Amino acid sequence: PNGSIERRCLEAKRRSVYSLFVAQSIHRKAGLLMRDLLLNETHFTFDLGLAMTGDPGLLILSRLIELDGITFTGGAALPLGHLPEQDAADFLRDLLPVFPHNDRGIIEPATAIRLALENVTPANASFGDSLAFRIRDLKSPGFIPRPTTPRNAPCPCGSGRKFKNCCADRDK
């Protein structure tokens, strides 16, 4: 029905367009201040994932949805790498023509997403050092779940006894 929250959400999503953004500042556990490179507008954007893992200078292909004065991403922001500190103007001058756009944003989002996915490698698409640190932590032995041996299975130590009568107490 007209005026319902569902209708307002649907209309806000319909009005949203893809664009290229650069993260200007990060506010952990809240969001980030992003500048739209195509429209030259700045938005405070609620996105907890980007807020926890992003860093200033991160280039992002996304769409922003604005509802009741609150701006948030569509949930599928694509990191493109980092805006180089030197020669940023030259870099942007070369990058922007790759994404056909008008005064509202990117004209063909499917093409832009395909181009981004084809040309962005994991090495230059990381969300910053905090994400790399967490990935290293997850790969460390403390985070790898140890396979569990069923209680009535033969003990993996090779004693020939059942696990519950041999090494089960040591694994606790």
pLDDT digit string, tens, across residues 154-171: 887 888 888 888 887 765
Q: What are phi and psi of 154, to 5 degrees?
A: -60, 145
Percent of the chain residues topping a pLDDT of 90: 3
Going 154 to 155 to 161 to 166, the CA torsion angle's sign is negative
> Per-residue pLDDT for 81 more than 50?
yes
Q: What is the pLDDT of residue 136?
A: 38
- Where residue 133 falls among pLDDT bands split at 50, 70, 90? very low
Q: What is the pLDDT of residue 109?
A: 76
- Where residue 147 falls among pLDDT bands split at 50, 70, 90? low
Greater confidence (150 vs 6) lies with 6
Which helix (DSSP H) or strand (DSSP E) does residue 57 occupy? Answer: none
In Å, what is the CA distance from 138 to each residue of 27, 54, 132, 134?
24, 18, 10, 6
Residue with tokens 């290229």: 20
Q: What is the pLDDT of residue 125?
A: 45
Greater confidence (64 vs 84) lies with 64
Which residue from 70, 84, 64 is spatially nearest to 20, judged by alpha carbons? 64
User: Hey, what CATH class is 5-130 in?
Assistant: mainly beta
- Does residue 51 contact residue 44 with C-beta atoms inside 8 Å? no
Q: What does DSSP say about strands 58-67 and 70-73: parallel, antiparallel, or unpaired?
A: antiparallel
Residue intervals of the chain classified under CATH 2.40.50 are 5-130
- Where residue 138 falls among pLDDT bands split at 50, 70, 90? very low
Q: Residue 142, Cβ neighbours under 10 Å: how many? A: 7
**Mean pLDDT (whole number) for 99-124:** 68
**Mean pLDDT (whole number) for 78-107:** 72
What's the chain's average pLDDT? 74
Q: What is the pLDDT of residue 143?
A: 35
Q: Is 131 exposed, middle or buried (0-12, 13-18, 19+ CB in 10 A)?
A: middle
SS3 of 37, please? coil
